[in-house]
Amino acid sequence: MYKNAINTIGKNQTSREDTLLFKVNEVEGLMGTLDKDFSEWSNFDRWENMGVQQWIFSRALDVYRGKRIDIKCECCEVIDLNQIDIKNISNQKCIGIKSTYMIENIVDEIVSAKERRESDGTYST
C-alpha cells in the first residue's frame, strides 16, 4: 500500500516528480533529536521536542493519505537505499535515513491503530 511512498535522497539527487520534498536540515531540532543514541531516538513517544515529533507524525499522515514524499538530507552526496541495511539502523549516521525509518514506523502504527478500531474486539490484530 505504501511501497515507494517515501524516498530518501542525498544533496546531489533530485526529487521525484509529483512528490512532496522535505529537507531535514530545515526542520529545527530534528538533527539534535536523531543524533542521539539509538535507544533515545528510536522511542518516538519519549521525544522531548514536540515540534520534531509533530513533523515526523505529519509526514507519516502524508504517506498514510496516499502522498509520495522525498526526504532530502544534506549529510550524504547520494543515497542508494538498496545499499542500506535498515536492520542495522542503530549504526546509521544519516539523518535522512533515520527520519524515513521513523516515518515508516509511525505509518505502521497508524495502520495498526485503524485496524484495531475497526475490529469488533473479538480478534486482536
Q: Residue 35 domain-assigned?
A: yes
pLDDT digits (tens, 9 = 90+) for 67-85: 999 999 988 898 877 667 6
Q: Which of 27-36, 40-49, 100-109, 115-124 has the lowest mean pLDDT?
A: 115-124
The answer to whether position 77 is within a domain reads yes
Q: Give a yes or no: residue 123 inside a domain.
A: no
Q: Is residue 40 part of a domain?
A: yes
Domain count, the chain: 1
Q: Domain for residue 109, yes or no?
A: yes
What is the secondary structure of 37-102 as a DSSP string?
-HHHHT-GGG-S-HHHHHHHHHHHHHHHTT--EEEE-SS-S---GGG--GGGGGG---HHHHHHHH
* Domain of residue 80, residue span: 6-117
96 domain-assigned: yes
- Model-wide pTM > 0.85: yes
From CA 16, how far away is CA 117, in angstroms rounded? 34
The pLDDT assigned to 89 comes to 84
112: in domain: yes
Q: What is the pLDDT of residue 50?
A: 95
